[in-house]
Amino acid sequence: MESKITQFVKQLLAAKQAETPHCDISSSQIHLINTPISTELFHELESISSEYHRDINCLAGDLLALALKEAIEHIPRKEKAHLDKVRHAHEVEEAEQLKEQSVYDAGGT
């Protein structure tokens, strides 16, 4: 069985002439992050992005998502259960922050 990364690379090769180098970076389902990578890997990413007409940030995001999903699959069940609780706590905190930001004050006395 092929890895998700192998499947992704095959799709990339098959769509080499695609004219849509962009992706969704603004929906509520997307979170932008800054992450350090080595200069060598950055240049590899830049080359792939250029050659296959893909936005470099979208390509990096796709590859990071695949690697993260695979990493999560290898976390032991007990640790995964704990991480699920931690994730839930973060989601609750984020929802509370959004709720506080969306409170409408019409003013007045």
Q: Model confidence over 20-36: pLDDT tens digits?
A: 666 777 787 888 889 99
pLDDT value of residue 50: 92
Residues in the chain: 109
Q: Are 52 and 12 in contact (CB under 8 A)?
A: yes
For the cut 90, the answer to whether the pLDDT of residue 101 exceeds it is no
Q: Are 23 and 29 in contact (CB under 8 A)?
A: no
CB atoms within 10 A of CB 38: 8
Q: Which residue has the tokens 């992050």?
A: 33
Q: Where does the chain have alpha helices with state H?
A: 4-14, 39-51, 56-73, 77-101
Between 73 and 106, name the one with better pLDDT. Answer: 73
Give residue limits of the domains in the chain: 4-75
Say which range, 13-17, 35-39, 101-105, has the weakest mean pLDDT: 101-105
